[in-house]
Structure 1
Amino acid sequence: MPLRFLTACIALLIAVTGAAVFAQTADPVQDAANRLASASAEVRAVERAADVATTREERAALTDRLSAARAAADDVGATLDAQMALVEAKVTEIGPATPGIVDAPDIAQQRRLLAQRRATIDSGIRRGKLLIVEAQQLADQIAADQTAELGRSWATRNRSPLTPHFWTELIVATPRDVVRAVHFTQQMMDDVGGGLAGGRLWLAILGAVVAVALGWPGRIALREAGRRYAIGAAPGHRIRRTGYAMWRLVTGTALPTLAALALVQGLRWSGLTAAAAEPILTAFVFAVGMGGFIGALGAALLMRSQGSWRLLPIGDTVARALLPWAWVLAVLTGLDILLSAVVETMRLSATAIAATDAVLAAVRLLAIGGLLFTLGRLRSRARAAEEEAGAAPDAADPAVTSAGAKRAGVGIVTLVAWLVTLASAAALLIGYTTFSLFLTRIVIEWLAIVVGTFYLLLAFVDDVVTTVFSANSRTGHVLARGVGIRPGAIDQFGVLLSGVLRLGLALVAIVMLLTPFGSGVDSTVERFATVAGGITIGDVSIAPGAILRAVAVLIVGLALARLFLRWLNERYLPTTSLDLSGRNSFALIARYVAVLLATLWGLASLGIGMERIALLLSALSVGIGFGLQAITQNFVSGLILLAERPVKIGDLVRIGTEEGDVKRISVRATEIELADHSTLIVPNSELITKTVLNKTMSNALGRLQIQFSVPLGVEPQRVRTIVLDAFAAEPAILADPAPVAFIDTIADGRILFNCFAHTASPRAAYPTRSAALIAILQRLAEEDIDVGTVPQQLQLLPAEHRPD
């Protein structure tokens, strides 16, 4: 028995060792080829399935399968690239074949094997790249089919509610629909009777009790607990506002959803429902959750009872007027979801479905119109209140300008909403019910939901990150004391991390806004990556659609660049240790880089790659060199000024006979404010190629000089003491370097004094010299010391003594 056991153990060990050796000796190239074949088969299967896919869900599943196939092809490509590198290394190690010399048989055999392996790997790499392209094209085709299907549904025209045919068809279809509804209701009643007979009614009652507890007292209790925590324990005022708003959104969404789920689950466990009612029950839970989310979002943003915590820049009156409309939209959204599920589950006629859509569109139009009327009335009241205030606003005031810009923006948004609402009403009246419902359901409500949600998320993320990664926070103290990070660097990291996260949220918001228009999340993200990478396939497209797309991308890129520069100037650079001139140089370079990247992004979307741009620039280089020589010289000089910074913003400089303060440095010219408050614009090449006197470079001090003379009989030490005492009494004169008073010379019976002192800045030298000179003259007058300059004598010589 022990011998058999030992033999079995040895056999098992040999089997395991052999499997490990086999796994280690498996050819990775062959394995990659097998995976590539599987991915290719998957793409072919998706291509066949795409021809018969009819619903959005089926197309989304096919897109996911294509994404997985592309990921597998990318992985295979990475593996084959590594194997190709190994083959190339072995070929290099063997060396090239020498003409006239016959290689040894083993060397020749190895060369043939390496050549075959390289050809196999190269073929696999090419197949993988081709498969990636095919998968991308197929995904684009599926997205295009989805968009076309959506367009066809928009273009479907039904009977207009204003025509008699609409009501005639509805009256004809009503008896059949009533029979179906009665049959479905009877089936539901039979299920309810069977559940009551089963004796498990208490489960439904328990579910209803739990639902009421969660939906009313539980939600209020959690909301109040979050408010108390925000007031008593949350760090900072900003994070209290956004944190409490997020808490209200989460509790206002989760608790009603859990309440609906508890009610539905109680009905299921009690046996009061059947499988036929499952779509309605699922839609009920989703409708309650979606309605709760919209209502909670409106309550979190408006904060009707706590105006100091309100995120939106509106008053209490506006918040109280808008909050009921948020709940109206929440109820309409929930009813829309539930009613659509009921109509679909009962399998009503197409006429009934069209009538239901028309009713939903009409009710939504009434709600949206009421909301817009409320906004218009509030704006009229605000304008009347401003007019009754009397004083005309100062147009130069930045606050007034910002308020005017906000009002203009609200006016534009309101006008666009009115136009969409009127277009939806017109589409409904002429029979395009699906398009009308789409405009009211997606363009207005979905846009408002996405914008409101991401507005709250952007504020919350910024407050949380900048609060956690702050020099004054607990995390900041730990990083500063434990790791030794500079406090300013912690603030910079918080601002940078906040910017990155908010940029990611902005991209997600764009994807969410595009999703209802037929673009899935995967396809939208892939398009963003393609445009951002500047990858082009095929020749340049000059079609109108390509041009419009390039213009749109350029506008988006410039808008993002502007937002980035605003964030850089207002948020990030103030946290650095750079001075004003350094911030200006950094912001200016970032501005041109951002504009350049936005331009390249637009050209890439048009199909113009970097190689074509380089070819165009090389062709125009000669003309640019001769025609724009001065501009190019100033541009390069501006870059040198921004990099070396021999002249900075705030420096006091003298160029020729002009002297003033540097106010602005751009890549073409520098602006200098003169003493008379005029502006001298100097080309940058003048500052680089000519002599410039910078009086404040490296924190230069100002120097003042006073010269006067006294009679020869006056004691010099007494005069020197008066001068030095006057210098010491002047607060702007520095003690180090110490003021000095020298005897310059003695001429014509007078002693000439030459006195010097220093100030902290050259700008303070002139007024300080005037004040010191007044004090010295007053003291010399009190001491009865005659002060003046060396007298000049005019002597007339006879003609014979005049020089020739």
Structure 2
Amino acid sequence: MGGIRALFAALVVAIASPILAQEASEAPADGTEVALVTADGQPDYAAWEETASRAEVLSEAGRGSAFALTRLREEIVGWRDVFAAARAANAARIATVQAQIDSLGAVPGEDAPTEDPRVASRRAGLEEQLARLRAPGLLAQEAYVHADGLIGEIDSLTRSRQAAALLSRSASPLDPRLWPELTDAVGTRLLGLWKEVTTSVRSEPRREVFGRNWPIALALLSIGAMLLTRGRSWLTRLGTRATANRTKGRFRGAHAANVIRLALSVAEALIPLLGFTALTAGVETTGLFGTRASALLQSVPLAAACVLGTSWLAGRFLSTERNNPPPFDFPPEVKQSAAGRLRQSGWILAAALLARGFLAVGDIAPEVRAALMLPIYVLLSVVVFRFGRCLAAAGRPRDSDDDSILFRRRLVIYVGRAISGVAAASPVLMILGFHRAGSALLLPSVITLGLLGVLIVLQWFATDLYALLLRREDGIRDALLPVLVGFALFLLALPILALIWGARPEDLAEAWTRFLGGISVGETQLSPKQFAMFGLVFGLGWALTRLVQGTLRSTVLPKTQFDAGAQNAIVAGLGYLGLTLAALLAFTIAGLDLSNLAIVAGALSVGIGFGLQNIVQNFVSGIILLIERPISEGDWIEVGPRMGYVRDISVRSTRIETFDRTDVIVPNADLVSGQVVNWTRGNLVGRIIMPVSVAYGNDVDHVTRLLRDIAEAHPMVLLSPPPAVVLAGFGADVLNFEIRAIIRDVNFGTTTRSEINQEIAKRFLAEHIHTAAPPALPAPPPKPAA
């Protein structure tokens, strides 16, 4: 049951691996690393060569026990950390000497004037000093590469052995020749356990140990018994109080109820587990039991964890009291059936753990152990197969599902079919003799399925807690933060999944070391530390830029004589400048050499020139708009058939709000290279032209004076220059006049036209001025001929 043990130890390993790697690289004063260096602090290369020779012999011969390879690997990892630290030896002096050499300039060519001997002598001395300073780092780099390669060879040898053991075939558990050995193995262990218990109780040394430890043992037993007997009543009282507080108004809604239920359910699972752990520790503390009984007792907490954990997961994930979101909104009958199968699997896993603890002590053939464990695994496969069928049936599409929900329901169906296939294949493999492959396929699949269920429940808890903090009930599942929490939980579960599926803690530590070491891009080394430093410095620069922009926009610029467009241009330009400086400063502090990226940038320039030319053109046009300011925010402009107010000028485009209250996104290049009419550039004064038509026969001078009086009387029309009325031309039936007037604000042009037209209609009616010729009278009928 290595997968189950890995599930409970994975979190500790995932946290301890980076800590141990960090401690190994910090050279403790009294640790192993002190023996790896000489008195002057340099690596002991003689001792390293001895260690490397042993590792090379084992790697070439492909021999050595798993324990020996593990110890040797740990020793080489320590050497590698020493060499990693030694690679940076004399770094400050090397940088200073290199700067001195660069200041002297390059060696003159053949056709160049002869260099002064003093300069040449000084350069030669500095180059000799530089070579001497670089030697320790180069030796450490070579040794680091050597150690890293040996670690890879040992890992490769270990993995090949694991794969060979996994695919090895032994006798079938159903072979009748194994049945006598099965009976003998069970009987021998039962008899040995009984003898061990009876002998230990009568043993005088063990009684002395019990005499010393009985107070601690009694305390642990009392705590365990109290937790098992009284824990549920305590939780019932706590749940009653929490429900009362929620009904009083402190916590309301379905999300609050889900949070309270989850907290109580976790406590209901942990308190009995702590009780079993305390009881087991109390029994072991008595000292009255030997190796066989201790091995069996140590399996009790894990067995209890399997039972309690599967029961908790069934109660939370498959609870009929909770309305799960799609695609986990299973029908009640499916929930009930799947919950029963899940609880059954917990009991079977607990039985498997206790059986392994029973068989742990003493020599036993692998095929005999597999035959004894086969009934438990077959029973577990049957339960898991039925659970997979429940999942496949629960994932059937609904009529109201959209595409995203359909995709997730298909995933549930695929998972159910996959787990059913694994449950059907594992017993077959065990019966054929591949018992390691069968157990390595079944147990990790079951534990992985349980881990995914726990992750989903935790993501639901994050969603409910987020809704509770925001005091919202609707639309909270579409928020970004709960999704990010779920993604983070999945990333944290990756090391646990790796351990469940057979990865070693050494593999995780090595992966963490590789991650901290970063990746190489050309001659540039990119590490997570550099990325974190870059993000921190750039984030601080971005926040400072936004702070300065906000201060200027709200405090400084409103007190100046700049108009709104100029203020916006200053703030936007300062933002671009601040972000550029923040990026350059972040690159510099993080230690990222931009010169090494020049080749990559040159190669990408061709693609940028062809594929991104429109984006670059719009970006440059946006900069031109902010500098020249032919248009500003709030201007009334006309671009092609579109007319409206400029609401925002960004890097790539400009947003125009039309008079229909719709937004039009115009690329900046169209505003710079195209024809744009700015109605309010500089000032709001503008001219309106209003055509007026009157019928023939009206007095032209009278109409002209009347229209001029009407225009001058309007408050929006400027009298300097005065409005003009012109006779624009002669139509077929009318005289065409035009009122040309300058108004104070062109934004009110439509309103001004409407008011002047209304006044014209009133005055024309009062003055009996006809706007069209009267209709012609019908011709009289012809007289009859005489």
TM-score range, shorter chain: 0.5 to 0.7
Tell me how many residue pairs correspond in the alignment: 625
Does residue 372 of the first structure (1) align with residue 352 of the second (2)? no
Task: Report the secondary structure of 1:347's partner residue.
Answer: coil
CA distance in 1, matches of 2:767, 2:228: 97
Once the 2 structures are TM-superposed, how far is the Cα of residue 125 of structure 1 from its aligned partner? 0.5
CA distance in 2, matches of 1:53, 1:618: 52
Task: Report the secondary structure of 1:330's partner residue.
Answer: helix
1:336 alignment counterpart: 352
Letter of the aligned partner of 1:633 in structure 2? Q
Question: Cα deviations across residues 367-404 of structure 1 (Å, max 9, x unaligned)?
Answer: 22111222233345x74xx4xxxxxx5xxxxx733333
Q: Is the 8 A contact 2:388 2:415 kept in 1?
A: no
| Structure 2: unaligned runs, 5 residues or longer | 1-36, 108-114, 472-478, 524-549, 554-571, 577-593, 695-701, 728-734, 774-786
Does residue 72 of the first structure (1) align with residue 88 of the second (2)? no
Question: What is the aligned counterpart of 1:177 among 182, 185, 208?
Answer: 185
Once the 2 structures are TM-superposed, how far is the Cα of residue 637 of structure 1 from its aligned partner? 1.9
Question: What is the aligned counterpart of 2:509 among 522, 540, 543?
Answer: 522
Once the 2 structures are TM-superposed, how far is the Cα of residue 416 of structure 1 from its aligned partner? 3.5
Question: What is the aligned counterpart of 2:273 among 245, 249, 257?
Answer: 257
Q: Is the 8 A contact 2:680 2:746 kept in 1?
A: no
1:82 alignment counterpart: 92
Task: Report the secondary structure of 1:31's partner residue.
Answer: coil
CA distance in 2, matches of 1:229, 1:503: 30
**TM-score (normalizing by structure 1):** 0.59
**TM-score (normalizing by structure 2):** 0.60
1:126-205 aligned within 5 A: 126-160=138-172, 166-191=174-199, 193-194=201-202
Does residue 221 of the first structure (1) align with residue 208 of the second (2)? no
1:510 alignment counterpart: 494
1:569 alignment counterpart: none
1:205-604 aligned within 5 A: 210-215=223-228, 217-218=230-231, 221-222=234-235, 225=238, 244=260, 247-248=263-264, 251-252=267-268, 254-302=270-318, 304-307=320-323, 314=329, 317=332, 319-380=335-396, 383=398, 386=399, 393=400, 400-424=402-426, 426-442=428-444, 444-455=445-456, 505-515=489-499, 516-518=501-503, 520-528=507-515, 533-534=519-520
Structure 1 residues 447 and 643: CA distance shift in structure 2, 3 A: farther
CA distance in 2, matches of 1:49, 1:87: 43
1:634 alignment counterpart: 614
Letter of the aligned partner of 2:151 in structure 1? A
Q: Is the 8 A contact 1:662 1:671 kept in 2?
A: yes
Task: Report the secondary structure of 1:746's partner residue.
Answer: strand
Once the 2 structures are TM-superposed, how far is the Cα of residue 168 of structure 1 from its aligned partner? 1.0
Letter of the aligned partner of 1:278 in structure 2? S
Question: What is the aligned counterpart of 1:712 among 673, 696, 703?
Answer: 703
| Structure 1: unaligned runs, 5 residues or longer | 1-27, 387-392, 394-398, 473-493, 538-575, 579-584, 590-609, 725-737, 792-804
Does residue 31 of the first structure (1) align with residue 40 of the second (2)? yes
Q: Is the 8 A contact 1:653 1:694 kept in 2?
A: yes
Once the 2 structures are TM-superposed, how far is the Cα of residue 154 of structure 1 from its aligned partner? 2.5
Q: Is the 8 A contact 2:711 2:723 kept in 1?
A: no
Letter of the aligned partner of 2:614 in structure 1? N
CA distance in 2, matches of 1:619, 1:716: 70
RMSD: 6.2
Q: Is the 8 A contact 2:637 2:677 kept in 1?
A: yes
Structure 1 residues 48 and 787: CA distance shift in structure 2, 3 A: farther
Task: Report the secondary structure of 1:345's partner residue.
Answer: coil
Once the 2 structures are TM-superposed, how far is the Cα of residue 407 of structure 1 from its aligned partner? 2.1
Q: Is the 8 A contact 1:654 1:693 kept in 2?
A: yes
Letter of the aligned partner of 2:723 in structure 1? D
Structure 1 residues 693 and 83: CA distance shift in structure 2, 3 A: same
CA distance in 2, matches of 1:648, 1:699: 12
Structure 1 residues 417 and 270: CA distance shift in structure 2, 3 A: closer
Task: Report the secondary structure of 2:139's partner residue.
Answer: helix
CA distance in 1, matches of 2:625, 2:241: 53
Task: Report the secondary structure of 1:154's partner residue.
Answer: helix
1:96-111 aligned within 5 A: none
Deviates more, 1:350-359 or 1:364-373: 350-359
Structure 1 residues 783 and 39: CA distance shift in structure 2, 3 A: farther
CA distance in 2, matches of 1:80, 1:788: 103
Task: Report the secondary structure of 1:348's partner residue.
Answer: coil
Question: Cα deviations across residues 287-335 of structure 1 (Å, max 9, x unaligned)?
Answer: 3235434443454445554548x89863673655543343333333333
Q: Is the 8 A contact 2:389 2:420 kept in 1?
A: no
1:18-57 aligned within 5 A: 31-34=40-43, 54-55=65-66
Once the 2 structures are TM-superposed, how far is the Cα of residue 752 of structure 1 from its aligned partner? 3.1
1:552 alignment counterpart: none
**Structure number with higher relative contact order (C-alpha < 8 Å, ≥ 6 residues apart):** 2
CA distance in 2, matches of 1:409, 1:650: 52
CA distance in 2, matches of 1:253, 1:299: 11
CA distance in 1, matches of 2:262, 2:346: 18
CA distance in 2, matches of 1:429, 1:698: 90
Does residue 776 of the first structure (1) align with residue 755 of the second (2)? no
CA distance in 1, matches of 2:404, 2:100: 68
Letter of the aligned partner of 2:519 in structure 1? G
Q: Is the 8 A contact 2:273 2:305 kept in 1?
A: yes
Q: Is the 8 A contact 1:143 1:523 kept in 2?
A: no
> Taking every aligned residue pair, what percent have the same amino acid on both sides?
17
CA distance in 1, matches of 2:461, 2:361: 41
Question: Cα deviations across residues 10-35 of structure 1 (Å, max 9, x unaligned)?
Answer: xxxxxxxxxxxxxxxxxx99733146
CA distance in 2, matches of 1:688, 1:405: 46
CA distance in 2, matches of 1:315, 1:633: 52
Structure 1 residues 645 and 245: CA distance shift in structure 2, 3 A: farther
CA distance in 2, matches of 1:83, 1:227: 70
Q: Is the 8 A contact 1:709 1:787 kept in 2?
A: no
